[in-house]
Structure 1
């Protein structure tokens, strides 16, 4: 191609077309992948996030399950109750809502 305005415009048009083709191919390739979880902890924990914030601390796993065990949490496989998520863990003491939130998010990312 000649190094003139028309040649540069054609190069730019070709690059835009190739970029669109790459994006379409990537979308086709990723079409079967599971949708990633949201980055917002409040979104994954739903109403439980607010309940944890107002809970009195320190609190044990058993106390949290007794008070909030029915709350649903978004996991990689769908939704599970707080009780189901914490069922495999030992009873431990949490000093704050942030401690509980960190533990839950760690458990649902396994």
Structure 2
């Protein structure tokens, strides 16, 4: 298995639960266009930390304002995953400013832009 590949049973990636869509995307023939993906799978819902959105809502950014949106080509499953992850952004993140290493970054004197302590 290539290190970047997920096991076939794992459908969550960086806060996005692909669910049954994962198997569909794995078996889809690539290259493909965004238009083809949305025609076949646009109604499939992906779970995010704050709810769910359809593949169409995610890939079109919530609105279909660009007529050539369907012309985008995906050469692999990984490209589809990356596009989804890029489009959901902060929506896939759990609690903001939270660290599982003992609390949040709030009030700890850390300049987030520099990554330096400002004490």
Tell me the TM-score range normalised by the shorter chain. 0.5 to 0.7
Query: How many positions carry a matched residue from both structures?
Result: 72
Matched, 1:63 2:36: yes
Structure richer in strand, relative to its length: 2
Match of 2:22 in 1: 49
Q: Deviations over 1:61-103 (max 9, x none)?
A: 1100001111111124310111111123733000011110111
Higher helix share: 1
Could you tell me which runs of 5 or more consecutive residues in structure 1 were left unpaired when the two chains were aligned.
Answer: 1-38
TM-score where L is the length of structure 2: 0.53
Normalising by structure 1, report the TM-score.
0.57
4+ runs of 1 displaced by more than 4 Å? none
RMSD: 2.3
Structure 2 residue runs of 5 or longer lacking an equivalent are 1-10, 91-119
Report the structure number with the largest CA radius of gyration.
Answer: 1
